Chains A and B, each alone.
Chain A
Amino acid sequence: AQSVTQPDIHITVSEGASLELRCNYSYGATPYLFWYVQSPGQGLQLLLKYFSGDTLVQGIKGFEAEFKRSQSSFNLRKPSVHWSDAAEYFCAVGRVTEYGNKLVFGAGTILRVKS
């Protein structure tokens, strides 16, 4: 069965510091991987996705993620965090068809940014 583990429930970083959010997945086939962000009181917004090819993918808001098949990981990174990055981040894995996709989400990591 598909599953996603985000080991860190909360992370606190200082503004300007680097960030890495961890994501490990279990999937029986070639995974399609996603990172979403949720600001308080809002729906989820797609940050980036990996389907195939280059294992380092760039997303919006200066985020990037690296797919490592050998470690079943898809960690999210940002070199310098801004206060506006404080939010909850969700990793997701799933299958994609020509009509849509079906995803399994991790439990989320809440990012706090201290000034």
Chain B
Amino acid sequence: DAGVIQSPRHEVTEMGQEVTLRCKPISGHNSLFWYRQTMMRGLELLIYFNNNVPIDDSGMPEDRFSAKMPNASFSTLKIQPSEPRDSAVYFCASTGTHSNQPQHFGDGTRLSIL
């Protein structure tokens, strides 16, 4: 079975540029999560979708961050304009409909803003 697929794996861009991270959840999963990993704070939840609808975006740091899930098999996280402090590893995870199914993570996108 294919797991959660994220692209790109690495992104290096200059400050001020728009960055788009992509995620394909596991087929049949109806919840999708975007996390950011930093040394200081570990894995922080940015936003969570259920059945393609954003449920909790309280973790989105600023208006520069936006996320969409146009259908059950695709989600994007966009940063515009990007800043050096956005440099981190961004993970996407998905989980199914049964209660307390663990989240399955993609391999992440390592983002570097110069």
Q: Do A and B come together as binding partners?
A: no
A interface residues, Cβ below 8 angstroms from B: none
